[in-house]
Amino acid sequence: MPPFTSHLFICGNQRAAGHPRGSCDACGTGALREAFKAELKRHNLGPLVRANGAGCLDQCEHGPVVVIYPQAIWYGRVQVDDVSRIVRETIIGGQILQDLLIPAEKLNCRG
Ligand code: FES
């Protein structure tokens, strides 16, 4: 079987209201993950591209957060309205969306 060309991890972490680190999916709907799955299906990208729900990716202050491997592209403040553009321009087109990119120097690397 060929390897994935891209594997997206979509944070769906939900914390109690008022938690200082917030929640990527405060309502617990999984809407962002479902939007990615639907858009990948619409473009017939499976099985080479996968979208999986993830727990906290430790970039909470930039949430909602999506990371794409193996390219290690971190996107923050991702909304459902961004999904088609991410799939079209990043996954298919190989372009990094600067308005969503979390710069490397802003990533938490607590080790
Ligand atoms: S809650 Fe989503 S990165 Fe931490």
The CATH number given to whatever domain includes residue 54 is 3.40.30.10
On whether residue 1 sits in a domain, the answer given is no
Average pLDDT, the chain: 94
Confidence of residue 81 (pLDDT cuts 50, 70, 90): very high
On whether residue 111 sits in a domain, the answer given is no
| Proportion of the chain above pLDDT 70, given as a percent | 95
| b/e map 2-17, b = 16+ CB within 10 Å | eeeebbbbbbbbbeee
Stretch 38-67: mean pLDDT, rounded?
A: 96
Domain count along the chain: 1
Instruction: Give me the domain span that covers residue 46.
Output: 6-106
Residues with a CB atom less than 6 Å from ligand 1:
11, 13, 23-24, 56-60, 63, 65
Confidence of residue 3 (pLDDT cuts 50, 70, 90): low
On whether residue 19 sits in a domain, the answer given is yes
Ligand 1: centre distance to CA 21 (Å): 8
On whether residue 76 sits in a domain, the answer given is yes
CB contact at 8 A, 49 and 4: yes
- Say yes or no to pLDDT of 106 above 60: yes
On whether residue 34 sits in a domain, the answer given is yes
As beta bridge partners, residue 11 has 54
Ligand 1: centre distance to CA 2 (Å): 30
On whether residue 70 sits in a domain, the answer given is yes
